[in-house]
Amino acid sequence: MPKKIVTFGEVMMRLQVPGHELLAQANTLQYTFSGTGVNVAAAMGKLGHEGYLVSRIPRNPLGEAALSFLQRLGIRDTYISWGGKYMGMYFLENGFGQRASRVTYTNRLESSFNTAGSFDYDLDSIAEFADVVHFCGIALAMTDKVRETMKTLARRVKEKGGIVCFDCNYRPSLWKGGYDEAKPHYEEMLALADIVMMNEKDAMYILGMKTEKTTKVGQLKELIPSVAKMFHIRTIAGTHREVKQDNIHSLKGFIYQNMTFSFSENMSFSVFDRIGAGDAYTSGILHGELKGLSPEETVRFAAASGILACTIAGDTPMATEEEIRSAMSGVMEDVKR
Amino acid sequence: MPKKIVTFGEVMMRLQVPGHELLAQANTLQYTFSGTGVNVAAAMGKLGHEGYLVSRIPRNPLGEAALSFLQRLGIRDTYISWGGKYMGMYFLENGFGQRASRVTYTNRLESSFNTAGSFDYDLDSIAEFADVVHFCGIALAMTDKVRETMKTLARRVKEKGGIVCFDCNYRPSLWKGGYDEAKPHYEEMLALADIVMMNEKDAMYILGMKTEKTTKVGQLKELIPSVAKMFHIRTIAGTHREVKQDNIHSLKGFIYQNMTFSFSENMSFSVFDRIGAGDAYTSGILHGELKGLSPEETVRFAAASGILACTIAGDTPMATEEEIRSAMSGVMEDVKR
Amino acid sequence: MPKKIVTFGEVMMRLQVPGHELLAQANTLQYTFSGTGVNVAAAMGKLGHEGYLVSRIPRNPLGEAALSFLQRLGIRDTYISWGGKYMGMYFLENGFGQRASRVTYTNRLESSFNTAGSFDYDLDSIAEFADVVHFCGIALAMTDKVRETMKTLARRVKEKGGIVCFDCNYRPSLWKGGYDEAKPHYEEMLALADIVMMNEKDAMYILGMKTEKTTKVGQLKELIPSVAKMFHIRTIAGTHREVKQDNIHSLKGFIYQNMTFSFSENMSFSVFDRIGAGDAYTSGILHGELKGLSPEETVRFAAASGILACTIAGDTPMATEEEIRSAMSGVMEDVKR
Amino acid sequence: MPKKIVTFGEVMMRLQVPGHELLAQANTLQYTFSGTGVNVAAAMGKLGHEGYLVSRIPRNPLGEAALSFLQRLGIRDTYISWGGKYMGMYFLENGFGQRASRVTYTNRLESSFNTAGSFDYDLDSIAEFADVVHFCGIALAMTDKVRETMKTLARRVKEKGGIVCFDCNYRPSLWKGGYDEAKPHYEEMLALADIVMMNEKDAMYILGMKTEKTTKVGQLKELIPSVAKMFHIRTIAGTHREVKQDNIHSLKGFIYQNMTFSFSENMSFSVFDRIGAGDAYTSGILHGELKGLSPEETVRFAAASGILACTIAGDTPMATEEEIRSAMSGVMEDVKR
Amino acid sequence: MPKKIVTFGEVMMRLQVPGHELLAQANTLQYTFSGTGVNVAAAMGKLGHEGYLVSRIPRNPLGEAALSFLQRLGIRDTYISWGGKYMGMYFLENGFGQRASRVTYTNRLESSFNTAGSFDYDLDSIAEFADVVHFCGIALAMTDKVRETMKTLARRVKEKGGIVCFDCNYRPSLWKGGYDEAKPHYEEMLALADIVMMNEKDAMYILGMKTEKTTKVGQLKELIPSVAKMFHIRTIAGTHREVKQDNIHSLKGFIYQNMTFSFSENMSFSVFDRIGAGDAYTSGILHGELKGLSPEETVRFAAASGILACTIAGDTPMATEEEIRSAMSGVMEDVKR
Amino acid sequence: MPKKIVTFGEVMMRLQVPGHELLAQANTLQYTFSGTGVNVAAAMGKLGHEGYLVSRIPRNPLGEAALSFLQRLGIRDTYISWGGKYMGMYFLENGFGQRASRVTYTNRLESSFNTAGSFDYDLDSIAEFADVVHFCGIALAMTDKVRETMKTLARRVKEKGGIVCFDCNYRPSLWKGGYDEAKPHYEEMLALADIVMMNEKDAMYILGMKTEKTTKVGQLKELIPSVAKMFHIRTIAGTHREVKQDNIHSLKGFIYQNMTFSFSENMSFSVFDRIGAGDAYTSGILHGELKGLSPEETVRFAAASGILACTIAGDTPMATEEEIRSAMSGVMEDVKR
C-alpha cells in the first residue's frame, strides 16, 4: 500500500537559458515548473509512494501549463486549487567553471500561492488523508497568510497522527528582518515536526545556539542533539556540501535518530544541474523512514539520491529506487542496453 | 540633421511559445523586449531619426538583457535609468486560423517602470533635448506615479517647443474603474498633445461623445473634427482594422489635419505577427509630419508601415523608408538578390 | 459530478519532422504520444469529464515517457497496465500545398498493446466504473487478442449499464483481408454500441449495403437509418470532409437520433495539424450526449471541436468548452489579452 | 539502363535564417549546399537517372561538408575535384506576404569553382562518359576561366554525341557590362546547345531581338521559333511565372519542338521555398526528352515538377516520378499512410 | 588504388535525446543512422579506402532517409538492396557522471535486414569484388536467415581470395540461449576469418576455454594464441577498456600476429559519445593491415582511432588518417586555424 | 567621467556549429559578430568605460545584422562607416578532449574593412576624441590600406596626447612573407605604442632578438626589458598559456613597467569557449592602467578577466568589474540568487 505524501509549497516557473549563455546573449528559454513541494512530491512518486501537492495556481495559460507539468511528473492534483493571478518565476543562467550560475526572481509575493490563505485549501481533508506532510523554510519566509496555512496544516496533520516533515532551508534574501524575524516562526514549525532537515548552521544562525567547537562536524555533533531534545524531534538529517572545483561537488550526509548519528561517506561527483539536490536528499530520508530502513542505509540512500539528482536536467529528482541503489554501489556503469 | 524622438513607456519582456503550440504543450520560449515606447523609438531610428526611450529597468540579469536588446534595436539609452526590482512580462501563444492568439501578463504594476516617479528621470534635460515626445494610453493606465511623470514630461516638452504625440490605445482590462476612471486622464493628455492617435470609438467610449451616425466612417467624420477642435489638436490619425479570415487582416488609415480628412486605400494582407502594427502606423504618421509630407502621402506611408510590421517577427517594426515606399507601390516582389 | 469516460486503444509514439522537411532532409524529430483512445480521453478531460485510458505500455524508458505524456494531457492512469516490450510508433512528414503529408508506421503488431490479452486488464473493475466506454476501428483491425478484449469489455460495460461508443474508423491498409475480413467484427461491435461514429461509406463498403443514390448526402440519408435500425443504435454521427485547396479543408457534421438527422453548416477552415480532428468531433458528440444538449447543438459543438483540433499542434484536442463555444459563434477574434 | 546526366556549376553554401526573422533579429542559421548544377544533378537522380556534378570545392571543413551534402542528395562525386580555397555562399532571409525574401551573396568570384580552369577537370573523360551535359547562365556570368571550361566541355560533349542542355538564366546583377557583355557568350553557348531553357525576355534582352507583339505569349510565339532556327536548337522550353499574392504563385510552361509549341495549363499554387523551382522544371524537361515522352506530357511533367519543388524545403528538388505524376493529376490528397 | 571494404550489417536508426534529458522529460530527438557495418564502412572511407555496405532497407521514407545518411557518410550504395518493411531503431538517453546512458531498442527482428535471406543480395558479385569483408557478432545473433547469409558470404569471399574480418562483439541480451546457443555459430565464423576482433572474455565465455590465470592480461596472453592456432586466424586484436570516472575512460589495445603480442599504451581520455568506439578501433586495425604497417604501429593507430571516435558526435567515426596520426602523438592542440 | 576607448579592427561574422558536431554532420549554425577590436571595445564598456569601434561594414543585411550585434554588446557606433561589399567570416567547429577545435576562414581580404583606406574614416575626429586607441597584429597582417590607416591613426592619437595600445597577436597563416615581411610593420607600430601586448616569442620571432636562455621565463625576463627600452614602451604585458588536458588550460600573466616585472599566479581553469581570452586579458591591463591600479593588481585583474572570458559563450568578454574581482578571490561560488 503506497503511502500518501503531501507537500505544501509554491509552484515556480523555471525559465532557463539553454547551454551556457547569459540572458543578455541568448534569445530562447527552456521552461519547467518546480519548487520544493513539487520536487519532494514528484520524487516520492518515483520511489513508489503517492505524491500530492497542496498549492494554488492561477486559472490562465500559465497555470494550465503548470498543472500539465505537475501531472507529467506524476504528481496527484487533488489538492491543487485554482485562484489568484500570477505564478512565481525564476530565471536561471548556467554558470561554467569559475563563473557561478545566477538566479533572478520575479515578484513572487503576488503569486497565487503567496496570496492564498488557509480557506483556499481543504485542510481538514488533507489532514485526514496524509501519511506524511512536508513543509519548507522557503514557504515560511513568504507571507503571513502562507505561514498561517503552514502552521494550521502541520497542527492538523499531527493531530490526525500523520508525520510532519520540515526542511529548514533558510534563504537569507527572503527574510528582510533576518534571523530575528525568522526565529519564532522556525521554532513553531520545529515544535510541530517529527522529521527535520537542517545542519549546524541553522542551529547557530536561526536558533542562535552557541558552541565553542570550530569544525563543522564538531558543531554538528554538539548542536543537533540539543535541537532534537529541545523540540522533541524524532529525526534530524542534513548534509555538508562543498564546491570543490569546476562542476565537481562533494557531499556527506548525516542522520540523527535515537540519540545516534549515522553518516554517509564523503563523495565527490560531477554536477549537471545543481538545483533540487537538497529535495532529493530529503526524499531519500523520508523513503528510508517510511520503509523502515536502518539509519545507516537511510543516510546512504539519501546521499545517493541527492547525487543522482545533480546528474538530471531540471530541479526535480527523477530516479527510481533501483537507480538509487545502483548508484549507492558506486560502480560506474557503461551504456545500459 | 536627424530629429530626436523621445518615447516614454515600459519595457516589457515578451516570452513567446515558438510556432503554434500552447504553453501547456511546449517547453521552450523565445524572448525579446518591446513595448509601445520601444517600438516607436526603434521604428523612428529605422526611418533615419534618433530614437530615445525614457524608461526604468532593474539592475539585474533581466534588466541587462533588456538593455542589450534595446541597443540591438538601435535605441539610444541616454534616458534609461536603472532602478526598481522587476520587469513587466507577457507570454504569447500564437493562434492559428479560428484559434486566437493569447497573451498572459505577469504583475507589471510592480515593475521598475511602474514604481518609478518623476524624480527617477531627468525630465528637464529630456524636455530640453526632445524634438518629439511620444506617450501612450497603456502607460496612462498604470499607476499615479507614472501618470504624473507622463503629464509633467508632456507639459515641459510643450513649454520647450517640442511636439507632443499621444496614442490613446485604450486597453479595457487595465482600467479597473472603466471609462469613468480613464476619462479625466485622457482629457489632460489630449489637451497637451499636438498629434493624437485615436479613432471614433475612443471619442465615443473614453470621451463619452455622442453621434447618431451608425457607420464607422460616419461616426469618424462627425466626431474626430470635434475632438480636434475641443483639445486644439493639430493632427489626429488612426485606422480601421478588421480580421477578415485566417491570418488575413484589412486596414484603412486616416489622418485629419487642417479640418480635412485623408484616407489610405483599404488593403488586405497576410499577418505573421500582429502585435506592434499600431506602433508602426504611428511611426509612419510621425515620419510624415517630421518630413513635411502631404497628408495623403503620410497616411499611405503610415498604412504601409503598419502592414509591413505585420510581416515581421516580434513587436518592433524593422522596415526602412525604402522598404515602406516599395510596399506602398503594392507590387509583390519575388526574391530580392 | 464529472462522468467517467474510459477509452480503449493503443498509445502511439508520434515522431514528427519539425516544419516542412522530409525525413531524408532533416535530423531532428519532435515526439508526443497519441492514439484514438488517448485523444478521446484527453479531450473529454478538457471538457470537464474524467478521462481514463485502458492500454498497455512497456516498462522501459519509452513506456515511462508515454506515461508522463498521458499524465500531462490530464489522462488518469488507473487502467494503464505495464507489460510487453514495444511501443507502436509512427513518423510524420508534414506536407505543404500540393505535397501531401506522409505517415510511416513501425511494426505495431508487436507492441505491448497489440500483444496484450483480456487478462492483462481488470475488465470487471473497468466495467463497474465506466459511464462511457469508447472503442475504435483501428484497434479492431489489430490482433485477435485485441479484438477479444474489445468485445469482452464492450459487453461487460453494456451489462453494467454503461454507454458503449464505437468509432468505425476503417483503415484499408490495416485489414489484409479487406472488407470481408472486417465485416463480422464490425457487426459485432455495432450490435454492442449505443453511439456510433460512421458515415455512408462505412455502410456501403464495410457492411456491403446497397443504394441507388449517387450523392453523398443521398446515400447518407438512405443508409444511416437502416444501420441504426439493424443494430439498435441510439445515435449515429459523422462528418463529410473535403480537402479544398492548400491547407484549407471543409467539414459538415451530422447526427442521426430518434429517426431524425441534424446537420452542422458546411464550414471551411485553415488546417495546421490534420491528425486527430475526428477524435475531437467524437468527443464533441459524446459531450453533447452526456450534457443532454439538443442534437442540433451537439452536432454544431462537435463540428467546432473538430475544426479547433485542426488549429492545434499534435493529434490530441486541447480545447475547453468555452473555447469551442466561442468557435461555434464563427467570429474571428484578434489577440486575447 | 540509367542515363548519365552531368551538370556543371558552382556548389553554393546556402545559409538561411530559420522561420521569418531577419539576420538582424536571429542568431541561428540552417545550412545546405545547392546551386543549379547541384539541383539538376540531384533531381535527375531522384527521377531514376545518374546525376554527376562537375565542380571544384576546397579541401577544408566547408568543402568536406559540401561533399557530404551532395552525397546525401544522391549526387555521384566522380567529377568533383578538390582545390582552391573558398566556397561561394549566400544568406537567405525568408519574406512573408508583402515583404520579399532577401538573398545576400559573399564574394563568390574567389571560390574554388570560379578560380578553376579547364585543366582542373578531366574534361575528356567527362565528355566520353556523359549522355547529357547541363550548363547554366549563372556560371557563364562568372570568370573567363569558367566560361572557357564551359565552352570546351560543351564542345567535347557535342563531339562525342552527347546532348548539350543550356539554361539561359540571366542574372542582371552578375554581368557588370550588361547584355552587351553577355550576348557573345550566350550566342556561343546557344550554338552548342541541343536543349535550351529560356523565354521571350531572353530573346529580346540578351539576343537583342525585336518584336512588335505586346503580350508575353505573342512575343514568345514570334521569337522562340526564330531562336531555334538561328542556333539550330532542337528543343526550347521555359515558363511564365507570376507572383499573384501572398505566397501564391502561378506557372505556365511551354516547350517548342519540331516547330510546334505545347503548353501546360496555367496553375496557381502555394509556395514554401521559391528557390530552385526553375531547376526542377528543367529536370522535368530533360526527363521527358530522355524518356521519349510527347511534348505535351513533357511540359506538364516539367510544370508539376516545378510546382512540387516549391513545396519542398531547400533549393534542391526531391520529388520522384511517382510523386510528380500524382501532382500532375491535380488532386489534393489528405495524409498518405 | 583504394581497397574495397565490404561490410555486412543492419542499418539502425539512432534516436537520441539531445543534451542530458530523459525521454520522459524532453520532446525532441536527433536522428542518425548507424550500425557496426555502417561505422566500419564509413570509417574505412575516411581512411582513403572505398567502403561498401551490404544491407537491406525498406522502400519508404525511413529507408530513403537511411540511404541519404549512408551516402552522406561516404558509403557506396552498390550493395544495398530495397525490401522488407521496417528499420531497426534504438533510443539513446545520454547519461551524466554517476548516471549511465540508456539504450532502448525497438523490435529489430522484423526489420528489412533481419528478414532478408541470402537471395536478397548478389553475394557472388560481392565476393568477386571485395578486398575485405567485415562481419560482426551482433548480426550473428539475429535470425537464421541472417546467419546463413553471413556464412555464405564469408565462404565465398574466402574462396575468391578476399580477407574475412570478424568482430566477436557478443551481446548477452541478444542470445536467448546464451553462450551455448552462440558457440557453434561463432566457431563457424572464426574458422572462416583471417582477422578477428575479440579479447580473453570471448575466449572464456563464448568458446568455453579455461585458464588458471586471474589477471586480464594473463588470461589474454594464454588464451588468444590458442584461439589463433585452433582457428587458423592470422590476426587477433582487441582492447581492454575501463570506465574510470565521470566521462573519463581508459583504453589499451592489443594485436596478436605471428605468435607475437603488441600493445598500445594505456590511455585515459574524455568521452563525448561512447558508442562506436569499437568500430573505430577495428577500422584502425584493418587500415594497418591493408597498409602493411607494423603491428606496433597498427595497434597504436587503432587505439588513437578508437579514442578519437569517442570525441565525435554519433556512432560513426569521422577521423582522417592525418587526424589519427596527430592524436597518436598525444599532444593537446589549441584551436586549429 | 568614463574614458573613451577606441579600437580599430575588422568585424568578423562567427558561424559556429552548435555543440560538438562537425560541419559535415550538422545543419545549423549559431552566429555572432566579433573580432579583436569588437572584443576590446565591448569589454571596456562592460568595465565602465565607453567603447567605440573604428571599422567599415557593408550596407546590406549582413552589415545591418553586424551593427545590431555590436550595439547589443554596448559598443558605440559613431565611428563605424558603411561601405564595401563583404563581411569577413569564420566557421568554428568545437573540439572535444583530444580533438581540437577548427576554424575555417572565408576570403576576408575582400571585406569592407580590408578594402577601406584612411579616407573612409574620419581619423582626425577620432584622434581628437580618443583617450586610448587599440590596434592589433591581425589587422596589421591584412592589406596595405589597412596598415596605412593603422599607422596614421596611431600617429594622430599620439600627437593629440592619447594612449596607443598595440597587441602583437602574430598569426603565422596571415603573413605570406613570414616574419621578414612582418618585422618592419611591427617595428613601426611598436615605436608608436605606449602599451604593448606581447611575450618573449614575439621578441624572438618577429623582432629577431636573440637570447641564450632556454626557459620561457628566462627568455621573457631578458628580452622584454630590451624591447621596452628599444621602442620607448611604457608598459608591456602578456601571458604564458598551456593546454593541460581536456578542456583544462593554465594561464600566468605578466606586466613589465618601470623596469619591473609583476606576475599573476599560474592558474588552471576549465574552458568553455577559448576564443577571445587574449582580448579580455588586454582589457584588464587597459582597465588597470586607466584606473591607476598597481601593476600587481593590474596583472591579477587581467588574468582573472582572461579566465572568466573562457567561461563565456562567444568571443566577446561579458564580465563586469565586480565579477572579475570576485573571480580574483578564487572562491568557487554556488548558485547566485
Summarize pLDDT for F249-284 with one digit per residue, the tens.
Answer: 999 999 999 999 999 999 999 899 989 999 999 999
Cα C150 from chain centroid (whole Å) = 15
By a Cβ cutoff of 8 Å, what residues of chain E touch chain C?
15, 18, 22-25, 27-32, 60-62, 64-65, 67-68, 85-87, 89, 91, 93, 102, 104, 106-107, 110
pLDDT of residue A153: 98
Which amino acid belongs to residue C196? V
pLDDT of residue A105: 96
| Chain F residues lying within 8 Å of D314, measured CB to CB | none
Name the pairing type of β-strands B163-167 and B132-136: parallel
Using only C-alpha atoms, what is the Rg of chain F?
19
Which residue from C minimizes the CA distance to E60?
C104
Nearest to D98 among B311, B314, B318 (CB): B311
Contact across the interface for B72 and F74, Cβ inside 8 Å: no
Nearest to D86 among F22, F68, F107 (CB): F107
pLDDT category, D115, cuts 50, 70, 90? Answer: very high
Nearest-neighbour CA in chain E from A213: distance (Å): 35
| Chain D residues lying within 8 Å of C103, measured CB to CB | 335-337
CA atoms of D250 and E8, how far apart (whole Å): 49
Cα four-point dihedral sign A145, A147, A151, A154: positive
Which residue from C minimizes the CA distance to F25?
C27
pLDDT of residue D331: 75
Nearest to A313 among E19, E171, E245 (CB): E19
pLDDT of residue E336: 86
Interface test with C, best of B16, B96, B239 (most C CBs within 10 A): B96
pLDDT of residue A334: 76
Nearest-neighbour CA in chain C from F16: distance (Å): 18
CA atoms of E157 and E147, how far apart (whole Å): 15
Q: Decide if pLDDT at A6 tops 90.
A: yes
Nearest to C272 among B20, B171, B245 (CB): B20
Interface test with B, best of D23, D27, D34, D96 (most B CBs within 10 A): D96
Q: Give residue-wise pLDDT tens across range D242-268.
A: 988 777 899 999 999 999 999 999 999
CA atoms of D334 and A330, how far apart (whole Å): 55
pLDDT of residue C335: 85
Strand, coil or helix: what is C229? helix
Q: Give residue-wise pLDDT tens across range D13-30.
A: 999 999 999 999 999 999
Secondary structure element (H or E) that encloses residue F37, with its range: helix F36-46
Residue D149, all three cell numbers? 571550361
Nearest-neighbour CA in chain C from E58: distance (Å): 11
Q: Is the pTM of this model over 0.80?
A: yes
pLDDT category, F229, cuts 50, 70, 90? Answer: very high
Contact across the interface for E71 and D69, Cβ inside 8 Å: no
> For F257, how many CA atoms within 13 A lie in the half-sphere containing its CB?
22
| Chain F residues lying within 8 Å of D23, measured CB to CB | 61-62, 64-65
Q: Which chains touch B (3 or more CB pairs under 8 A)?
A: A, C, D, F
Lowest-pLDDT choice from A22-31, D73-82, E94-103, F224-233: E94-103
Interface test with F, best of B70, B72, B75 (most F CBs within 10 A): B72
| Chain A residues lying within 8 Å of E93, measured CB to CB | none
Interface test with F, best of B32, B62, B68 (most F CBs within 10 A): B68
Residues of chain C with CATH 3.40.1190.20: 1-161, 234-331
- Burial zone of F209 (CB within 10 Å; 0-12 exposed, 13-18 middle, 19+ buried): middle
Residue E274, all three cell numbers? 561512447
Which residue from F minimizes the CA distance to B60?
F337
Q: Decide if pLDDT at A279 tops 90.
A: yes
Class of the domain covering F234-331: alpha beta
pLDDT of residue D222: 97
CA atoms of B267 and A53, how far apart (whole Å): 53
Q: Which pairs from A202-211 meet CB under 8 Å and 24+ separation?
A: A202/A168, A202/A170, A203/A227, A205/A170, A205/A179, A206/A168, A206/A170, A206/A179, A206/A182, A207/A183, A208/A179, A208/A183
| Chain E residues lying within 8 Å of F95, measured CB to CB | 311, 335
Read off the pLDDT of each residue in A257-264 and give the average, rounded to a whole number.
Answer: 97
| Chain C residues lying within 8 Å of D271, measured CB to CB | 97
Residue B171 CB contacts under 8 Å (≥ 6 apart), including other chains: B137, B138, B141, C337
pLDDT of residue D243: 87
CB F9 within 8 A of CB F138: yes
Contact across the interface for A20 and F271, Cβ inside 8 Å: no
According to the 3-state scheme, what is the secondary structure of chain D?
Answer: CCCEEEEECCCEEEEECCCCCCCCCCCEEEEEEECHHHHHHHHHHHCCCEEEEEEEECCCHHHHHHHHHHHHCCCECCCEEECCCCCEEEEEECCECCECCEEEECCHHHCCCCCCCHHHCCHHHHHHHCCEEEEEHHHHCCCHHHHHHHHHHHHHHHHCCCEEEEECCCCHHHCCCHHHHHHHHHHHHHHHCCEEECCHHHHHHHCCCCCCCCCHHHHHHHHHHHHHHHHCCCEEEEEEEEEEECCEEEEEEEEEECCEEEECCCEEEECCCCCCHHHHHHHHHHHHHHHCCCHHHHHHHHHHHHHHHCCCCCCCCCCCHHHHHHHHCCCCCCCEC
CB E28 within 8 A of CB E106: no
pLDDT of residue D336: 85
pLDDT of residue F246: 72
Question: Cα torsion for C299, C303, C304, C306, to the nearest 10°?
Answer: 140
For chain B, list residues with pLDDT below 50. none
Contact across the interface for D71 and E69, Cβ inside 8 Å: no
CB atoms within 10 A of CB B247: 19
Q: Give residue-wise pLDDT tens across range A299-324.
A: 999 999 999 999 999 999 999 999 99
Nearest to A272 among E25, E96, E244 (CB): E96
Cβ burial E9-31 (10 Å sphere, 16+ → b, else e): bbbbbbbbbebbbbbbbbbbbbb
Q: Give residue-wise pLDDT tens across range A187-209.
A: 999 999 999 999 999 999 999 99
| Chain D residues lying within 8 Å of C246, measured CB to CB | 269-270, 332
Report the CATH number of the E1-161 domain: 3.40.1190.20
pLDDT of residue C145: 97
According to the 3-state scheme, what is the secondary structure of D117-165?
Answer: CHHHCCHHHHHHHCCEEEEEHHHHCCCHHHHHHHHHHHHHHHHCCCEEE
| Chain E residues lying within 8 Å of C32, measured CB to CB | 27
Contact across the interface for D72 and E74, Cβ inside 8 Å: no
By a Cβ cutoff of 8 Å, what residues of chain B touch chain A?
15, 18, 22-25, 27-32, 60-62, 64-65, 67-68, 85-87, 89, 91, 93, 102, 104, 106-107, 110
Q: Give residue-wise pLDDT tens across range C157-204.
A: 999 999 999 999 999 999 999 999 999 999 999 999 999 999 999 999
Which residue from B minimizes the CA distance to C331?
B98
CB F288 within 8 A of CB F297: yes
Secondary structure element (H or E) that encloses residue C268, with its range: strand C267-270
Q: Give residue-wise pLDDT tens across range F157-206.
A: 999 999 999 999 999 999 999 999 999 999 999 999 999 999 999 999 99
Residue D162 CB contacts under 8 Å (≥ 6 apart), including other chains: D127, D130, D131, D132, D133
Cβ burial C7-32 (10 Å sphere, 16+ → b, else e): bbbbbbbbbbbebbbbbbbbbbbbbb
pLDDT of residue F333: 74
CA dist A15 → A70, A80, B15, E173, E215 (Å): 16, 22, 10, 41, 52
| Chain E residues lying within 8 Å of C31, measured CB to CB | 27-29
For chain C, list residues with pLDDT below 50. none
pLDDT of residue B334: 76
Residues of chain D with CATH 3.40.1190.20: 1-161, 234-329
Contact across the interface for C323 and B105, Cβ inside 8 Å: no
Nearest to C335 among B25, B97, B103 (CB): B103
pLDDT of residue E61: 97
Cα E32 from chain centroid (whole Å) = 17
Q: Give the architecture-level CATH label for domain D234-329.
A: 3-Layer(aba) Sandwich (3.40)
| Chain D residues lying within 8 Å of A26, measured CB to CB | 27
Strand, coil or helix: what is F4? strand
Residues of chain E with CATH 3.40.1190.20: 1-161
CA dist E225 → E195, E252, E260, F150 (Å): 13, 18, 9, 70
pLDDT of residue D307: 95
**ipTM over cut 0.85:** yes
CA atoms of F20 and E313, how far apart (whole Å): 6
| Chain D residues lying within 8 Å of A22, measured CB to CB | none
CA atoms of F190 and E136, how far apart (whole Å): 64
Residue F301 CB contacts under 8 Å (≥ 6 apart), including other chains: F284, F287, F288, F293, F324, F325, F328
Q: Which chains touch D (3 or more CB pairs under 8 A)?
A: A, B, C, E, F
CA atoms of A18 and C209, how far apart (whole Å): 59
| Chain C residues lying within 8 Å of F26, measured CB to CB | 27
CA dist A270 → A98, A310, E324 (Å): 15, 8, 29
Secondary structure element (H or E) that encloses residue F308, with its range: helix F295-309
